[in-house]
Structure 1
Amino acid sequence: MSERKVLTKYYPPDFDPSKITRQRGPKNAGPKLMTVRLMAPFSMKCTHCGEFIYKGRKFNARKETTEEKYYNIAIFRFYIRCTRCSGEITFKTDPKNMDYECERGAKRNFEPWREAKLNEENEEERLDRIEKEEAERDAMKELETKVLDAKTEMAIADALDEIRSRNARMERADREGITTEIQPDAAIDRRKRQEEEDAEAARQAFANRSMPDIGEEEIEEDMVDVPFEMSVVTSFSKKPKEKKDFGAALGIKKKAPAPAPAPLRVKAPAPPSKLSSMLVAGYDSDSD
């Protein structure tokens, strides 16, 4: 029974192994390309025919190593064909955002989560923003520092000028052989004179603000016997405040007060009649 797998190879009769020489093919001068099997990393729309390619669609793509790098990370470019019009679509890796970037032949579909993620600032942008805020915050401080430095430089320049002028006078005096006392600088005299004038002006201003001495008024003897007229002081009596009738303003009618009850009249007793007086007079006599 023959073997199923043929392990031997056929050599023709005129085969001469000495004629076989090792040869090297020409090297590819262009970019290195290799065929890989991949899936679409994002959903896209072909710009040639308008075909939509969903994420995860499998393609036989050509992989190219570009010369671009991000922090020594190589960036790769991929070439695929549209499933409808066979238009070429290229996209490359984006290690900065850990994503892919569509280059040519298609347009990436809108993804809300991706837009929100891109709007978020990364560490570098955050550091740049903090540096800018600190620079803006310290603008006034830098201005104050510059003003103080300018004042200090002016004071140092004035002091140097005074020292140079003093040294020049001393050298001139030594050269001429005349010993002269060093006179104070004119700027110092002018400053002292100005300070004295300011102090004198302030002293005079405060002296003028003092209260004038009115003195005592002399009273003549003839004015002693003159009666002193008292000014009439008007007095005011406090009147009770009248109460406002708010009910009348609102249209509420008040009931009239009930009249006071009339006093009871006691009837006077009637005068006694003549008969009764006669009878009473008869009972009063002792003769009966």
Structure 2
Amino acid sequence: MSERKVLTKYYPPDFDPSKITRQRGPKNAGPKLMTVRLMAPFSMKCTHCGEFIYKGRKFNARKETTDEKYYNIAIFRFYIRCTRCSGEITFKTDPKNMDYECERGAKRNFEPWREAKLNEETEEERLDRLEREEAERDAMKELETKVLDAKTEMAIADALDEIRSRNARIEKADRDGTTTTVTPDPVDDRRKRQEEEDAEAARQAFASRSMPDLGEEIIEDDVVDMPVTLPPVATFSKKPKQKKNLGAALGIKKKSSSSSSPPPAPAPQVKAPAPPSKLSSMLLAGYDSDDDSAKSSSLLVAGYDSDDD
């Protein structure tokens, strides 16, 4: 890499530094242009050669400040060239939609999510629509109010014309010395007649209607002053349920708990068993011996049978 670091420069033999003069050209009166490094903000297709330029490809672009503004936000225009045919492509910023807008030299590729976003109503469009609807609603309301006022004025004017014509007929009759009767309105007469008929029908219906006999008994004053005697109220007392002496029925005697306790009730008489015979007592005396246990039991049974006999 040392060969790239040139410390000295070549000067030709006929070089004359006095001939080098500083020159100032005319200033550019057009819009100010700057060279910037940027990336393609969207994928596009060149209209000159059909080359596709993907989003994010880097370009050396010329930046121009336009006279257009959106809510005092400056709008910039950028110039780039196609990578295949070097055709000029122009696009500018769009602060309203927070995006970029392609002007010429290329066509932006279709983006479905962008179409859905563009179809949505923005806040500014919503405000304009609400103002428009409110103005239309006010216009309709104003028209309805005007129609109602016109109908009311026409009715008032008709009533005034009728009153004026009636007063004119009366004045003319009084001036001529003749009496005239004002013809009543047939609608009012019909209404009054109908009301009178309805009132008469209601009066007759209520007059012919008799109150039903409820069969009420006339109470005298003497009966009212008599004291009222109430029937005795039946009372019920709870009696304890007597317990059955099951032990006495089985022949079991209870031992007395203490001498102070009352004597127990006499148990029902049970037939006492017969006293054992002499032979059974002798057999019972030798019952404890292990050898003669079976023999003793058989003799005891035999002796029991003999006692019963």
Normalised by the size of structure 1, how large is the TM-score? 0.49
Larger of the two Rg values belongs to structure: 2
